[in-house]
């Protein structure tokens, strides 16, 4: 199968914080704060070597959202936009490894504490702790399988996603200011 491979080097324009689902259960008589202190590292997405990563699927979702946000029409196709082609026609084949093992995350350095309103709690507010990093960079590899999608359009969506959509917690798409990036450089290769 012929496709195009787009390798893009990214540099953070804002901090990144993750919130992976926690599978651990609260222990009997454990307070919310004790539970957070014991389990917060589990909110870091990790690879098979237990390194903290930004999953490729977060970038795919951001690019897909950018295509919807932009609504650029396909030349010669009337009102049809690139959105559905981005949804099924690309794959982000890599994660960004942040270079920190999950057990090396430290409160005060690689963690962010915040007080959240919790309507289900008698206290009303609870302390939450999340993995956090100020600066990050790395390369994502995007395979473009749908030939209606020019690589320049995907690159444009990667730029739009980095400015207006973001990845992780508190990203612009959810009203925050984190998880943004800028494109440093890119390389496109035809694969046959």
* Residues 10-40 pLDDT 10s: 999 999 999 999 999 999 999 888 998 899 9
Structure tokens at 172: 């612009």
* pLDDT-based confidence at residue 107 (cuts at 50, 70, 90): confident
Order of strands, edge to edge, in the sheet holding 137-144? 90-92, 137-144, 3-12, 181-191
Domain borders along the chain are: 3-16+29-191
Q: Nearest 10 degrees: CA dihedral of 101, 167, 178, 84?
A: 170
Q: CA Rg, the chain, in Å?
A: 19
* pLDDT-based confidence at residue 121 (cuts at 50, 70, 90): low
Look at strands 51-54 and 125-133 and give their pairing. Answer: unpaired
What is the reported pLDDT for 82?
96
- The arithmetic mean of pLDDT across residues 145-167, rounded, is 97
For residue 81, pLDDT over 90 is answered with: yes
């Amino acid at each position: 199968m012929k496709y195009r491979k787009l390798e893009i080097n990214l540099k953070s324009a804002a901090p990144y914080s993750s919130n992976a689902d926690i599978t651990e259960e609260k222990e009997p008589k454990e307070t919310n704060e004790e539970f957070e202190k014991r389990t917060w590292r589990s909110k870091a997405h990790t690879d098979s070597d237990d390194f903290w990563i930004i999953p490729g699927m977060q970038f795919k979702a951001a690019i897909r959202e950018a295509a919807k946000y932009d609504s650029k029409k396909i030349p010669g196709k009337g009102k049809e936009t690139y959105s559905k082609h981005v949804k099924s026609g690309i794959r982000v084949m890599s994660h960004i490894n942040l270079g920190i093992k999950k057990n090396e995350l430290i409160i005060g350095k690689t963690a962010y504490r915040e007080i959240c309103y919790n309507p289900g709690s008698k206290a009303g507010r609870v302390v939450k702790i999340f993995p956090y990093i100020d600066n990050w960079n790395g390369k994502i590899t995007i395979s473009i399988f749908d030939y209606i999608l020019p690589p320049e359009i995907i690159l444009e969506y990667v730029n739009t996603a980095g400015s207006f959509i973001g990845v992780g917690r508190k990203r612009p798409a959810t009203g925050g200011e984190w998880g943004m990036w800028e494109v440093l450089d890119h390389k496109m290769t035809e694969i046959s």
